[in-house]
Structure 1
Amino acid sequence: PWLFLFVLTSVLSGTSVALDNGLMRTPPMGWLAWERFRCDIDCDNDPKNCISEKLFTDMADRLAEDGWRELGYVYVNIDDCWSSMERDQQGRLQADPKRFPMGIHNLSHYMHARGLKLGIYGDMGSHTCGGYPGTPLDKIELDAQTFADWEVDMFKYDGCYSNASEQEKGYPLMSKALNATGRPIGYSCSWPAYQGGLPPKVNYTQLGEICNLWRNYGDIQDSWGSVLSIVDWFFDNQDVLAPAAGPGRWNDPDMVGLPDIKAVTYWFLTGFKLSCWTSSHVFWWFCVFS
């Protein structure tokens, strides 16, 4: 009831230029909190399921001790609702002190000591989708440096409460800011999902130059209808999506939930056929056994 793995599509060849940070030459694989744990912050009444330091260290232990790390599942990714509701006195983001008493930097050390990588979440708007402090345009350089100081390995940049103009400026600016820190941080952009996922609003050549992966479509939900809508959309648009993908630049159809999420049965049943239909490689738990 605890495991979520990234779902990514790629092609083995392509002509697009990749983001020049040397990262994610193959699609990242790991565990992401959102679909199962959402924004549960009630650690007093629900300590096993709340977004907290213990949740992420527990999941890290499972990846490291149960054989997942050796199969390539090395990312442990924090999603929304991790931060304090206020920035610190220097204007920096800070973790909620009750739920993350060690802080994010120590949490990254915990991951690295086990051969894992830590991912974190931010949002371009004034607030995240869950209502926590965002990373608007005037905070991009500060927050990028904060993530680097914390030795984070991956950053997902969402787009709630931002408009098209802000996104056009902000996603490339964050790419430059992350690279300028000197720390290798994989960059996940939600930009195309907020612009319909297709040209002319979405420029996949540009995305490949600034992002390591990008969300094209809406969030997966715990239903077969949600799974089917994602499968259908990617199938219908492969002529656009497949050429955009390659080493260092990946389409991201979202995660797959295991095993207490009802939709998982359908991902298993359709996984191999989907990879054939789309002329692309699909990376998820199914592939471990296929």
Structure 2
Amino acid sequence: MHLALLVCAPALFVATLALDNGLMRTPPMGWLAWERYRCDIDCDSDPKNCISENLFMDMADRLSEDGWRELGYVYVNIDDCWSSKERDNQGRLQPDPKRFPGGIKKLARYLHDRGLKLGIYGDMGTYTCGGYPGTPVEKIEIDAQTFAEWEVDMFKYDGCYSNATEQEQGYPLMSKALNATGRPIGYSCSWPAYQGGLPPKVNYTQLGEICNLWRNYGDIQDSWDSVLNIIDWFFDNQDVLIPAAAPGRWNDPDMVCLTDMRLRRKKRVKYFLLSDK
């Protein structure tokens, strides 16, 4: 039996200028690990569900083989807990060697060969939300270059363990650094979610100049009440949010469109539009 649940909010669109990197002219759609798999790194006891290259290759197969790619679901996004606990000798982030033995670049090419795109996660604090190495201001350039060399297509920049001053400096700097790599990398900012989501603390004009999409509100949880709370918040604040959006610059309600179904392999997975941690 295939159980499908689809919840879609209307696209928030106005014809205003957006980040000039030519990306995400329509809202990005795909799959992200966090809401279902969280920070499961126990590949010995739970090999099918742990954060590993096998999980993301499997999800890439599902998108490409089960018809989702043709519907526009092209992103497979890694969230937190993918990296080693330490940077390498050159100061670069590195994937956990046991869980990602092939490396991120090989994973990216696996997706590209299937007509898909790879997203990856970072955090501007000293640590990520899950306790892995962060990308503070002094590491922004080297990490942006690393992601470009790995042929990553989208970067989500979280804000755990950072303050308002660091966020004000770091989010624009990362936008500049990603663009300077010469590789087209979609940029997802979590900045407004850490500042309450609304003006005057959140400057949506500035966000549209530096980010392709941004988290406005709290995390999605695995419950219908959580989905409704997010929908209610966006409905209550639509007069502020609608003018902020346009092609290339999108509000991210942390799962605008959610499908939960049993696939032919009888594995429960989550597909979503703009799903984010």
> By the TM > 0.5 criterion, same fold?
yes
Listed as ranges, the matches of 1:192-203 within 5 Å are 192-203=192-203
> Does 1:258 find its partner at 2:260?
yes
Give the match's secondary structure for 1:118.
strand
Give the match's secondary structure for 1:259.
strand
Decide whether aligned partners of structure 1 residues 284 and 131 sit closer, same or farther in structure 2, where only a CA change above 3 A counts: closer
Question: Quick one: distance in 2 between partners of 1:4 and 1:136?
Answer: 38
TM-score, structure 2 normalization: 0.90
One-letter amino acid of the counterpart of residue 258, structure 1: D
- Identify the residue that residue 95 of structure 1 maps to in structure 2: 95
Listed as ranges, the matches of 1:1-290 within 5 Å are 10-15=11-16, 17-255=17-255, 256=258, 258-259=260-261
Instruction: Give the count of matched residue pairs.
Output: 262
Percent of pairs with identical residues? 81
Question: Quick one: distance in 1 between partners of 2:18 and 2:250?
Answer: 9
Give the match's secondary structure for 2:73.
coil
Please report how far the alpha carbon of residue 13 of structure 1 lies from its aligned counterpart in structure 2 after TM superposition: 2.4
Q: Which runs of 5+ in 1 are unaligned?
A: 261-281, 286-290
One-letter amino acid of the counterpart of residue 252, structure 1: D
Please report how far the alpha carbon of residue 25 of structure 1 lies from its aligned counterpart in structure 2 after TM superposition: 0.3
Please report how far the alpha carbon of residue 171 of structure 1 lies from its aligned counterpart in structure 2 after TM superposition: 0.2
Q: Is the 8 A contact 2:27 2:274 kept in 1?
A: no
- Identify the residue that residue 269 of structure 2 maps to in structure 1: none
Q: Is the 8 A contact 1:158 1:190 kept in 2?
A: yes
Q: Residues 129-151 of structure 1: CA distance to partner in whole angstroms, max 9, x if unpaired?
A: 00000000000000000000000
Question: Quick one: distance in 2 between partners of 1:5 and 1:97?
Answer: 37
RMSD: 2.2
Q: Is the 8 A contact 1:122 1:128 kept in 2?
A: yes
One-letter amino acid of the counterpart of residue 10, structure 1: A
Specify which structure has the higher proportion of helix.
1
Decide whether aligned partners of structure 1 residues 4 and 210 sit closer, same or farther in structure 2, where only a CA change above 3 A counts: farther
Question: Quick one: distance in 1 between partners of 2:212 and 2:39?
Answer: 26
Please report how far the alpha carbon of residue 201 of structure 1 lies from its aligned counterpart in structure 2 after TM superposition: 0.2
Q: Residues 77-129 of structure 1: CA distance to partner in whole angstroms, max 9, x if unpaired?
A: 00000000000000000000000000001000000001000000000000000
Q: Which runs of 5+ in 2 are unaligned?
A: 263-271
Q: Is the 8 A contact 1:7 1:253 kept in 2?
A: no
Please report how far the alpha carbon of residue 210 of structure 1 lies from its aligned counterpart in structure 2 after TM superposition: 0.2
Q: Is the 8 A contact 1:6 1:283 kept in 2?
A: no
Decide whether aligned partners of structure 1 residues 195 and 7 sit closer, same or farther in structure 2, where only a CA change above 3 A counts: farther
Decide whether aligned partners of structure 1 residues 116 and 149 sit closer, same or farther in structure 2, where only a CA change above 3 A counts: same
Decide whether aligned partners of structure 1 residues 9 and 24 sit closer, same or farther in structure 2, where only a CA change above 3 A counts: farther
Please report how far the alpha carbon of residue 227 of structure 1 lies from its aligned counterpart in structure 2 after TM superposition: 1.5
Q: Residues 185-220 of structure 1: CA distance to partner in whole angstroms, max 9, x if unpaired?
A: 000000000000000000000000000000000111
Give the match's secondary structure for 1:74.
strand
